[in-house]
Structure formats: C-alpha cells, structure tokens
Structure 1
C-alpha cells in the first residue's frame, strides 16, 4: 500500500526536504507553494506540484481534492507554509499582524479541517511546523511568536480532539535552521555577522540545524514507529530550549 501526503510551503527549505524525505520513504506527495519553483519537484505519478497561495479561500479543499484525485487516499498532512517577521512590537503594524496570521495560522486551520475526513478514514496524521519562538520568549518576535504559539496549541488541541478517531497530530519546533528563509531574515539585520554570532551562541551545538534534520524529524513523527506519539512538540533546535 502506497501512502500519500500533502506538504505546504514545499518549494524550498524545510518543505522541500520534507517532500524529498517522504518520497524516499515511499510516499506519493502533493507539494504546494506559491513559488513556481515548486514545479521543480515534479515526478510523474509520485510528486504532484501545485502552485497556489495557501491563504486563498478555495485552495485547501482544492488541494485535498487533488490529492484524492491523484492518489485515491490521504495519509499525512504537513502544514509547513509560513513566513518570518523580526520586529519590535512598537514598530509592528496591524497589517503586519494580519498578514502573519493569514500565512502562519489560518492555512493550518483550513487545511487540517479539509483533510480530517480523509485522515480519519486512513487513520493518518497531521504534522505542523511550529518554532521555538512558540515555546519561549525571544526579543523582537512578538507577532511571529504569537503565530507559532497558536500552531503549538492547535497541535495539542487537535491531538486530543482527533485521538478517538485514530488521527495523530504532532509538531516540530525548529530553532535556527540554515535555509534561505533564515538568510533573508538575517540580511535585513543592521549587523548580519553579529546577528549570526548571537544565534550560534544560543544553540548549544554551536551551529544551526539543517532543513534535512527537521525533515527527518517530521518523517519520524509520521512513521508507524511513532504510533504512540500525539500532541507532542518535538524541538529540533540544537538544545536551545534546554538552556
């Protein structure tokens, strides 16, 4: 039996590596991203790229239907799409707030709601990409941290709600990850070199995680070997929250 998955935010970084790792594990995947680069992942009968804005109203049910049409089942939803904002609260606008929640929270809610009937049928699972920013206080990340805190709590609530229906729900909480996503954020800092040094000093392993390390954690949480794990927020953070 071949399993199938949907991965949002799949064009680069963690999402792209999740698609590659799921493929290696035998999954068929619908890979979703607003960036046309997601089409580079196309593989006949195995990876179906969908260029779409996950914030758009009709996209979640349309993507779920696409997975059903292509593969006839859905076993895994990975809610990975998101964006970052580092800004002091006094400089954060209402538009910043609305835009960040629109990308980081609402799609996870909508995709989960649309996917659940299929996941109940297959006793599948949902895995969300949260962040250490949703677990601990980090300066100048107030709204971003709020969105990731919402993902943490969505994960726990859905885990309890869906357990009787056989659906597991977990999340990964990355620390700093060596991706374009992080590099772009750092480039906007007044002193990128000092920002990098501060980041590394806060991670006991002395380096950023790789996107593949986060992807491996997601595939682990999806595997049958993790059948007893639900409602867990798995930190992939180089020891950040253990300090």
Structure 2
C-alpha cells in the first residue's frame, strides 16, 4: 500500500467537494487520477500533500497518517500543483539550493547535480526561471518536487499548456520516476493516461466511480476505449 484514503470528505460551506472518497494504491505505480473539472481531484491532492485539511475521513502515505503525522508525511511526498508556483527572479540552481536547504538535505551539491541531470536542466541551470519556456518551467517544478527524494509524487496536470514535444519529454520523465516511486497523476489527456499509467481512478462529484488497472480495463469494460469509459461514468 502506498496511498490509502478512507471516507475522505471535504465540505466548503454548503458544497461537498469530496463525498466519503475511498481508494488504495500500490507502491511503485503510476495512477491516473481522472475526472471532469470540479470532480474533487485537486482537493484530494492538496489534502494528501498536507496543504488542505479534510472535513472528515482519513488518508495515509506509506502508512503515515496525513492528519496525525503531517510533518512526517510531508517528508515522503513531492507535490507539483497545477499552477506550478516558482520564484521567477531566482536562477534555476539557486531555487534548487533553496529547496534543498528547506528539506535539510545533507550533501546538497551532489543531490542538486543529480536532479538537474535527471530532469534535463543542465543547459538551463544558470538561467532565471522567468527566462525559461513553460516546458522547462515544468521541469524545474518537477526538480523541486523530487529534490528530497520522496516516495510518493502527486502531480496535478503537469503537462497542461505544453506543446507535443514538451508533453512527450515530461511524460518520459514521469515514467522514469514511476519505476521507483508511486505517482498520482491528474490529467484530462486520455492518451497520456494510456501511455504511462498502470492504474486508473475516476471521480465525479467527489465520489469514486471506478478504480481499475490498465491490464483489467479490457475485461471490465469490453469494447470500450478509456475515453468512452470516462464519459459514461462522469456524464
């Protein structure tokens, strides 16, 4: 078990964003987290990343309760939000040094060098973030996300707004990261899910509509494409 969510509920005023959501994922898998806008994906991700309190229910990362042991849970999670908030006036390497210091990484230089190489930022490391294309900014966001070598990555629409070449590059990087980590990935691109995901979770109106492996999809939903399954479950 890598991520475990039980009866997770979040209420904003009179609106119920999550309604007793329950699911569990395996370790070292890439999980496609799907649903229409307003389904509760980002809310769930923010709760798992300890950025938003739940109204009720529980969730755990690698057996660590997010509600009861927030700091401990944060240490093993890397979160890339949809808007990728980066310090635009900082240089790439400077930003990674700041992140490494925040996480109290011992051998900062070696780890920063490793992450820069892994995310393909070698040629960009001495540029300001503001000078980078959106694709490279996403790489910087991923670098910040993995700098402390977390066991679980939570990525909220990491390829939105990228061109086809940039999308393929980021997908390749996520697939590589998924060999050693659990990745919870939200996206509206069915092609992306089919290309890199091992499991699928579909939400609608804050409720779980389906959870299945890509291997089991043809048996569970014979003759249906992922897009057709999505539309049928979320209409």
TM-score using structure 1 length: 0.26
Greater share of strand residues, 1 or 2? 2
> Larger RCO: Structure 1 or Structure 2 (Cα < 8 Å, ≥ 6 residues apart)?
2
TM-score using structure 2 length: 0.27
